[in-house]
Amino acid sequence: MKQSHKRILKEIGLKAAACGLKAWAVGGCARDLLIGKHTEDIDICVEGETSPLIEFCAEKYGAEVLRFNDFGTARVNLACGLKLDFVRCRAEVYAEPGALPKVRPAGLKEDLFRRDFTANALALSLMPGEFFREYDFFNSKEAVLGGYVKVLHDKSFLDDPTRLFRAVRFAARFGWEIEPFTEGLMRDAVKKGYVNFLSRQRIVHEFIKILGESRPYQALKYAAEYKLADFIFKGLKFNAKINKLKTVEERLAYLALLQGSCGAEFAESLLLPKKITALSLEVLKWRKSKAAPFKALSKEALRVIKLYKPGIESFRLKPLFLCAEDLSVLGYSGPALGAELKALAKAQYSGKVRSRRGAFSYIKKAGF
């Protein structure tokens, strides 16, 4: 961690002490620091009110503050790149499986106990006199350094079945094992249908997080192994080439192509905003038309299609060699012009037409 970032965290700790509060850096950032992975996303857990520390960051560092209507939670973005998520230490009560929990204020230990896995339940103190001291109630350090995913209690997946997806994601990201008892709980949770307690949106949210990993293939493979992939899309097809694409949108579009005739159903089933699935729709539309596109395909679409069909001939992807004006110069108009353009697009896709000149002779042969 950058010294300048450490200094800021130290100053937040000093402010906490001055206000009679206690604060820790917890969860993913403590885990990542332990394995020497760079992180600028810091979750800060506070025993007591978060607002004095949030206001301190806004005043002292001119930070941008996004407050959420949820238990003193706020995202504080600093110009130096640090993203601080403040939250009050809390305990969670799950009234129903899969539903969002009810929360109440709690101490640090209880807060750490509500977390998904032991590896994510480590806290580093920000307080003066013990800055960066580890608070490790649940053998978190051992899990991080030993490399395993382990739940904190045996009701964990019943409380929150999204943790099933989180488990495969962390196992894949870090190359960790899923500890045998946890693995048994996962298989049992899937068999008992806990995933059905989750809304479609929550499942898709986890899927998108998997696609946001630097190597999503490994996580998808685990998801299939644990029979979670079917909840994303029945019979989900995927392969290792997905890792070659860098954005979630491209990875989704690639998967949409891989689902064959179910591609559109796959894309629609995710109920995602248009801007995320637009690329999937673009490549699916191109494939369905079996015709050269009227408008140039986006560079993202070309990247996805070329990965899906390596060696695909460029004439199939290029925009139509002739446009409406070319045909109108030749004397076409109205529906005849439209029909001819469509025929030309098919001919170009099939390779009968491979250049602008070829397109003109095709039109002439076609009878004008």
The binder of 116, among Mg ion, ligand ATP, none, by C-beta within 5 to 8 A per type, is ligand ATP
Contact between 120 and ligand ATP by CB under 6 A: the answer reads yes
What binding mask, one character per residue, do residues 165-184 give for ligand ATP by CB under 6 A, x or -? -x------------------
Beta bridge partners of 91: 104
Closest CB to Mg ion among residues 215, 241? 215
What minimum distance in Å lies between the beta carbon of 259 and ligand ATP? 26
What binding mask, one character per residue, do residues 40-79 give for ligand ATP by CB under 6 A, x or -? -x-x------------------------------------
- Residue of the chain from 111, 160, 250, 300 that contacts ligand ATP (CB under 6 A): 160
> How many CA atoms lie less than 13 Å away from 39 in the CB half-sphere?
18
Contact between 116 and ligand ATP by CB under 6 A: the answer reads yes
Query: Angle formed by the axes of helices 3-18 and 51-61, to 10°?
Result: 130
Eight-class DSSP state of 76: E
Q: Spell 44-66 as b/e; 16+ CB within 10 A means b.
A: bbbbbebeebbebbeeebebeee
User: Are 78 and 94 in contact, with CB atoms under 8 Å apart?
Assistant: no
Closest CB to ligand ATP among residues 43, 326? 43
Contact between 163 and ligand ATP by CB under 6 A: the answer reads yes
Tell me the CA distances in angstroms from 1 to 29, 34, 76, 119, one per residue in order. 10, 11, 18, 19
Number of residues interacting with Mg ion: please give it, by CB under 5 A: 2
- Residue of the chain from 15, 88, 90, 115 that contacts ligand ATP (CB under 6 A): 115
Which of helix, strand or coil describes residue 45? Answer: strand
- Sign of torsion over alpha carbons 188, 153, 162, 166: negative
The binder of 88, among ligand ATP, Mg ion, none, by C-beta within 5 to 8 A per type, is none
Contact between 72 and Mg ion by CB under 5 A: the answer reads no
Q: Which stretch binds ligand ATP (CB under 6 A): 98-106, 157-165, 175-183, 244-252?
A: 157-165
State the DSSP string of 346-362. Answer: HHHHHTS--SHHHHHHH
Q: What are the residues whose beta carbons fall under 8 Å from the beta carbon of 167, sequence distance 6 or more?
A: 116, 117, 149, 178, 182, 186
Q: What are the residues whose beta carbons fall under 8 Å from the beta carbon of 326, sequence distance 6 or more?
A: 360
Residue in the shown chain whose Cβ atom is closest to Mg ion: 28
- Interactions with Mg ion, residue window 15-54 (CB under 5 A): 28, 41
Which residues in this chain contact Mg ion in the complex, by CB under 5 A? 28, 41
Which residues in this chain contact ligand ATP in the complex, by CB under 6 A? 27-28, 41, 43, 115-116, 120, 160, 162-163, 166
